[in-house]
Amino acid sequence: MTAPRTPKIPYGGDYNPEQWPAGTWDDDHRLFTRARVDTLTVGVFSWSLTQPAPDTYDFTVLDRVLDRAAAEHRQVCLATGTAALPPWLAKRHPEVNRTDFEGRRHRYGQRHNFCPSSPAYRAHATAMASRLAERYAGHPALLAWHVNNEYGGACYCDLCAEAFRAWLRDRHGTLDALNDAWWTTFWSHRYTDWDQIEPPNALTEHWRGPDHTAFQGITLDYHRFTTDALLGCFRAEKEALRAHDPDTPVTTNFMGMFRPLDYHRWAPHLDFASWDSYPPLDAPPTWPALAHDLVRGLKDGAPFWLMEQTPSTTACRDVNPLRRPGELRLATFQAIAHGADAALYVQMRASRGACETYHGAVIGHAGRDDTRVFREVAEPGAELEALGDAALGARTPARTALLFDWDSWWALEISDGPSRLVRYRDVVHAYYRAAREVGADVDVVPQTADLTPYEVVLAPVLYMIKGDLATRLEAVAARGGTVLTTFLSGRVDAHDRAFLTDVPGPLAGLMGVRVDEWDARPPEVTQTVTLGGLRTHARLVFEIVLPRGAEPVGTYGAEPVGTYGAEPVGTYGAEPVGTYGADFYAGTPAVTRHRHRDGEAWYVATALDQPGVDWVVRRILTRHDLLGPYAGHPAVETANRVTPDGRRLLFLLNHAAEPAGLTAHTTATDLLTGERIERHDPLTLDPLGVAVLRIQ
């Protein structure tokens, strides 16, 4: 099953009419019509309303909400409401409340406050999902099911300890296998009974917080267990929905690059992917773009839904700047450019109280339609209405893949060395940004993805190598493609055990290098790296690289280690492309390229700054003719989608505060203005402007 079938891109957002007197609903729908809002997400936090007591269900308000939506010809994404417990459930079953990392059993409060291993929670949540599906399956307003909301958080209670032990028995089979996987001969940790195993937290294996653990294996497995425990809650609710409604698509809203949960493990269980976009305040445009492409990659490139974004400001940070004029429209079309087939907001009407009083809303507390925010919501609403189904179902024809791996993320950042300052997302984003800013479409995919469609595979900080990935990467290069990886790659296996071979482990042959030593330094210590005519900088980790097959020398002079002679590079070792400029390893390779049959493998041995990353990635993309037509305009984002009938759409987004003067590279029609553009015509994008070009 795929995303809901709609005649246009759904437009709207989270609507909580239960917070308001019924008289307000008339104004809401009048304003929704003016803003071209056709889709409402309802019931997200309605559990205490629809089930005020253990044996009492009351759907009076929800009936009116859905019936009114249908009468107004609007669609509803109906939530199960199980993300926040009703107070009576926590009082009646205290074990549904989570125990935190410090070992404290919480009392009732906040949201995301349930233990995923609690039988009481599972029973009541699935009962609620079942009641909702039984009542609303076939309702004329129902478009999709929205299970729970923004799953997240871990629990360390006794119920989770028991569930973890059961999960470990299923994963490892025997205690001997578990002891080997966790390397428990270290520090006398060998387990002789499953009951001896405790969840890794501040009272057991950790110090100074969740990322400081004495045994990476057990902590890594607890991350995996938490992912599966929460996924089990989702699957149970989905099964309850399916028992009464086999046809309506089911999703839950993710949070993009959210570290606690491995969304790749969830993907097969979603009918369509959806996510909530709230990028960091100082993030460049490529940060939300990376998250969009990651979510699109969860379902093998199928379109996703943008389930939430703010129309103006958030309310969850210490300082919450306002979106500037034009930024909302630009963000909405950026999501669509990267594969979104819906654009929804949080929230439709501003909350009168509690912690989201100041969260942005389409309709403010005064209920006006003459505010700047309302006008800026209405503008893309009208444009999407005019766009119709032109982009629906369109996919991204990427020839570049970026590997994104939660296991590598977790294992890297819980590693006790060489540097706790390396941040997985930051390094991955640097390489993604370099590709996107020169116009390459990028698929963000898991380690298990089929790599045959891609000419370039970027795999930065590929810390953990699982399954046959190394062989499949070699195949990419063998057929003429290019593979890139970086420092701290190929270090550990699926259990977070070091490979008993030269670094970068299974990738060493492909990369043509060997790494015996690595130097970690504070962030203020930088190294110059020379890349052709560019002198750039690097920091944090400096791996000392030997071309594979070369013997280490006693001293490191100004020349790269090893000699090449007449031997083809592909059979001897990698050639230096960039070199360090200081310390005892001055002149040794910082960036290498290795010919592997018909292709190439690049190894970047240090954390280059963005200009250095840009230089390397541009060289690789140029080899495959993958630079976009507007690669010389880094502020102009481009993205391609191809419709089911084979038409190509090119999205142009100007992220600059100044106009962008371009020259059309082909004949096209701008679907937002209806203007026909001939090849070589001047093409000007307004500041924060958008064009959607249908290529002729």
Single out the catalytic residue among 95, 102, 134, 150: 150
Neighbours of 25 (CB within 10 A): 17
Extract long-range pairs of 663-669: CB within 8 Å, 24+ residues apart: 665/629, 665/630, 666/629, 666/695, 666/696, 667/695, 667/696, 668/693, 668/694, 668/695, 668/696, 669/693, 669/694, 669/696
205: annotated active-site residue: no
Q: For residue 17, is the peptide bond before it cis, meaning its omega torsion is within 30 degrees of 0?
A: no
Here the tokens at position 257 are 């690059």
What whole-number distance in Å separates Cα of residue 684 and Cα of residue 661?
Answer: 5
Q: For residue 418, is the peptide bond before it cis, meaning its omega torsion is within 30 degrees of 0?
A: yes
Single out the catalytic residue among 205, 237, 308, 455: 308
3 state SS of 690: strand
Q: What is the 8-class DSSP label of residue 437? A: T
Residues in the chain: 696
**Residue 647: exposure state from Cβ atoms within 10 A (0-12, 13-18, ≥19):** middle
What whole-number distance in Å separates Cα of residue 116 and Cα of residue 414?
Answer: 23
Helix axes 424-436, 610-623, angle to 10 degrees: 50
Nearest to 529 by CA among 486, 472, 478, 477: 486
Please provide residue 241's backbone torsions phi and psi, each rounded to the nearest 5 degrees: -65, -45
Nearest to 159 by CA among 232, 91, 235, 209: 232
Here the tokens at position 631 are 């690669």
Q: For residue 347, is the peptide bond before it cis, meaning its omega torsion is within 30 degrees of 0?
A: yes
What whole-number distance in Å separates Cα of residue 116 and Cα of residue 93?
Answer: 13
385: annotated active-site residue: no
Judged by phi (left if over 0) then psi (alpha if -120 to 50, else beta), residue 634 lies in: alpha
Question: Read out DSSP for 19-50?
Answer: GS-HHHHHHHHHHHHHTT--EEEE-TT-HHHH
Contact 545, 513 (CB under 8 A): yes
Q: CA of 15: how far to CAs of 45, 80, 163, 292, 694, in Å? A: 10, 14, 36, 23, 34
Q: CA of 556: how far to CAs of 81, 431, 508, 561, in Å? A: 63, 30, 22, 7
Known catalytic residues are: 150, 308
